[in-house]
Amino acid sequence: MTAHRTRSADRTDAIMRATIEVAQEIGYAKLSIEAVAARAGVGKHTIYRRWPSKGMLFHDSLLSTLEPAADLPETDDVKADLRQRLHATVDLMAGEPWGALFQALAGEIQHDPVVAASLNERFFGPLEARSVARIERAKATGQIAPDFDSSLAQAMLAGPVYYRFLITQEPVTYEFVDGLVEALFAGMGPRP
């Protein structure tokens, strides 16, 4: 890597770190490009060359911290695997500061279709694809009824979690997701 590319990558990292720091301190609603530029020690034009909007800057900054946590091990027990994935989601949503920041990002996608499309492509889509693939493998081993719609199963697992987190803002706990997994498997288990 050339020195220029190294400096550019370092500057990008500094900007994304500054974005998260400022958002943690004052919240997404008050986050500004000016505040991020000042914290990162760069000019506003440096930020706008990389990101077209505050929403995309926040999106990229937040996802750069979340993506590594998306992969989880797979065992021979599909219920345990899906439960573990949902527990990781609970950890993300319930923990500070990620829960509040993720809620802010979810709010942003209501107003910015570019951020929404990117969040689906980079975060929700891959998570859904991994869960659907895991459910498909469980169908192949007889752990789930072969005619159960895998995409529907994924939606039935994720929907109540995000509904609680984003709409009712009730606590999303391990106990809640454990009950959700049990209820879903009662309906999609192999049939005699």
Once rounded to an integer, what is the mean pLDDT over residues 167-191? 84
pLDDT of the residue at 117:
94
Q: What does the pLDDT look like over 84-93, one tens digit per residue?
A: 988 988 887 7
Q: From the centroid of its chain, how far is CA 188?
A: 26
Domains, in order of start, for the chain? 3-50 (1.10.10.60), 65-188 (1.10.357.10)
pLDDT of the residue at 72:
66
Task: State yes or no: pLDDT of 121 exceeds 60.
Answer: yes
| Residue 5: band (very low, low, confident or very high) from pLDDT cuts 50, 70, 90 | low
- On average, the pLDDT of the chain sits at 87
Q: From the centroid of its chain, how far is CA 192?
A: 37
Task: State yes or no: pLDDT of 21 exceeds 60.
Answer: yes
Task: State yes or no: pLDDT of 68 exceeds 50.
Answer: no
pTM summary value: 0.78
In angstroms, the CA 72 to CA 81 distance is 8
* Peptide bond before residue 97 is cis, with ω within 30 degrees of 0: yes
For residue 122 the two structure tokens come to: 């980079």
In angstroms, the CA 43 to CA 4 distance is 17
